[in-house]
Structure formats: structure tokens, C-alpha cells
């Protein structure tokens, strides 16, 4: 028997007891309890969404009913139609608000993904003076919320002349430390031998990054997209943008939401409209996001 064949046989024998130990030692009642518990947790987590959608479909009299009901007794889409009628009466059209939000979200997310990924690749796979210190600064920056940095951010943006422009929201999104931290930690799991093999085959740095690294860290950058879209889509931008024609959709909808008791139904519809895009993106990329919590399976 050759040495390689003998090694394979030894590996198979070694793996047999490991495979046996992976079988869960649970009874049928244990499985039933586990599924019931998971169903309960899922219901608790889905309850806010169910209640929000139910409230948006309630007539005005049911919204003030006490005790409140979770689902509408007489469901209607009048709240949504009234919302679009109210938005249509504004001197800035609904499509303009939507364009502003989509433009800020798309450009900000794309720039954040590109810059965070390139910086993470260098920090994860190359050693250079100041690299560890720079990553420590990025980690420390994650401790500060937007409320702490809003004044220095405003002073810098004002000095650059970006106040009342889209760039006041887009450029700071490029430098969000969360994306760099996430991408760097995930890229460290990639085998350096894979990158070195690509370079031996003649691939340049950009080709290694775009064709080797990025496809293997897809779960990480899909998660980054989710976080970035959620932050930018829900950004009111009222601190930096003053012109009404440059306001975001969320700002306009929240102005309607604060219109008093008569607009309570429209306010419930606003909540659904605002949250529907982040939820839809999360649902479509759910499997990729869950992979960020698992190993990529690649080892040196």
C-alpha cells in the first residue's frame, strides 16, 4: 500500500468517531420543545412588523380603539392612498424626495463598500508601519456615536463647502469604521497562500482583489451593504441639508407623521414605507449575512 493511500485510510478511521459524536443526543420531545421555542422567538421578533403593517391597514376609528388590536378588523389601504395624496400636494414632488434618498443611499453604499474593502485588504494581508495603530484608531472610532461627532463633522463639512449638498451625507458614509472593521476581520480568514498563488500566475494587485478576495468574502460585503443601506435610507439629513428640493424621503414622511391626530393613519403608513426597503434587502441577502457568523472553510 502506498504512503498516500495509507494516509487517506488513517484519516477516514480518524474521522469516523468524530462523525458519530456529531449526532445530537435528543429525544423526540426535545426536538418538539426546540422547535416550539424557536417558533416563539420568531413570533416575538416578527411582532413589531406585524403590528406596524396591521396598524397601517386600520381605519382611523380602529387606530384609537382601546384596548388596541393587533390585526385590523376592517382592513383598508386608505392610509396609503391618503399619504400619497398628501405628498402629491407638496410643492416638491414625491419622486424628487425618492430620487434624493435613492441617490444618497446608492452612492454612499457603493463608495463605503469600495473604500472599506480596499483598506481592509491592505490591513489584513500586508504589513506596513503604522498599520496596527491605524486599525486600533478605527476600532476606537466605533465607540463614538453620531451624536458625539456631529459638531466636528459639521465644522469640517462647512469648511469644505459641502453644507446643503448631497456630499455632506455621502462622504462621511464612505469613512464609516464599521465596514472597515467587518471586512478586515473577515479577510484575515482568507489563506495567504491563495493570494500568493494568484500573484505567481501573473495577477496584479487589482485582479487579486477583485477576482480572488472579493468573491470569497461575499457574505461580509453583503452584510456591509445591509448596514449601510439601513443607515443612509433612514437618514433625515436635516442637519446638513436645508433646501427642500434636496431633502430625503424619510424627512418628508416624518413631517407628515407629525401633522397631528388627523394624520395618525398616514403616520402608520409612513412607518411601513420607511422600513420596507431595509427589510426587503435583508430578506434577499439573508443567507449571505448568516455566513458572516460562520467560518469560510479556507485555511492556510
Residue-wise DSSP of 247-296: --HHHHHHHHHTS-GGGHHHHHHHHHHHHHHHHHHHHHTHHHHHHTTS--
- Which residues have a Cβ under 8 Å from the Cβ of 16 and sit 6 or more positions away? none
| pLDDT tier at 14, thresholds 50, 70, 90 | very low
Length of the chain: 300
> Is this structure's pTM higher than 0.85?
no
**What is residue 181's three-state secondary structure?**
helix
Q: Where are the domains of the chain?
A: 24-76, 86-291
| pLDDT tier at 287, thresholds 50, 70, 90 | low
Place of cell 497562500: 193
Q: Which residue has the higher pLDDT, 168 or 66?
A: 168
Q: In whole angstroms, give the CA distance from residue 56 to residue 266.
A: 8
Q: Do the Cβ atoms of 83 and 99 come closer than 8 Å?
A: no
**Fold type of domain 86-291:** MetI-like fold (1.10.3720)
| pLDDT tier at 114, thresholds 50, 70, 90 | very high
Amino acid at each position: 500500500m502506498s504512503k498516500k493511500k495509507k494516509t487517506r485510510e488513517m484519516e477516514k478511521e480518524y474521522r469516523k468517531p468524530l462523525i458519530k459524536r456529531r449526532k445530537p443526543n435528543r429525544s423526540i420531545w426535545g426536538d418538539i420543545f426546540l422547535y416550539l421555542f424557536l417558533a416563539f422567538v420568531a413570533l416575538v421578533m416578527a411582532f413589531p412588523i406585524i403590528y406596524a403593517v396591521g396598524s397601517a391597514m386600520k381605519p382611523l376609528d380602529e387606530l384609537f380603539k382601546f384596548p388596541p388590536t393587533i390585526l385590523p378588523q376592517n382592513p383598508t389601504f386608505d392610509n396609503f392612498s391618503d399619504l400619497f395624496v398628501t405628498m402629491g400636494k407638496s410643492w416638491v414632488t414625491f419622486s424628487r424626495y425618492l430620487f434624493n434618498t435613492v441617490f444618497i443611499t446608492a452612492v454612499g453604499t457603493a463608495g463605503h463598500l469600495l473604500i472599506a474593502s480596499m483598506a481592509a485588504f491592505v490591513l489584513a494581508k500586508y504589513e506596513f508601519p503604522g498599520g496596527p495603530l491605524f486599525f486600533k484608531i478605527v476600532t476606537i472610532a466605533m465607540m463614538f456615536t453620531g451624536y458625539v461627532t456631529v459638531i466636528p463633522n459639521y465644522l469640517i463639512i462647512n469648511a469644505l463647502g459641502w453644507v446643503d449638498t448631497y456630499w455632506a451625507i455621502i462622504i462621511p458614509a464612505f469613512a464609516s469604521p464599521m465596514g472597515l472593521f467587518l471586512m478586515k476581520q473577515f479577510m484575515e480568514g482568507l489563506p495567504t497562500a491563495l493570494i500568493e498563488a494568484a500573484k505567481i500566475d501573473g495577477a496584479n494587485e487589482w485582479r487579486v482583489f477583485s477576482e480572488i478576495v472579493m468573491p470569497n468574502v461575499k457574505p461580509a460585503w453583503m452584510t456591509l451593504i445591509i448596514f449601510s443601506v439601513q443607515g443612509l435610507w433612514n437618514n433625515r439629513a436635516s442637519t446638513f441639508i436645508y433646501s427642500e428640493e434636496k431633502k430625503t424621503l424619510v424627512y418628508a414622511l416624518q413631517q407628515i407623521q407629525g401633522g397631528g391626530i388627523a394624520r395618525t393613519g398616514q403616520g402608520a403608513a409612513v412607518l411601513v414605507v420607511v422600513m420596507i426597503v431595509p427589510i426587503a434587502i435583508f430578506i434577499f441577502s439573508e443567507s449571505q449575512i448568516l455566513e458572516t457568523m460562520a467560518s469560510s472553510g479556507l485555511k492556510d
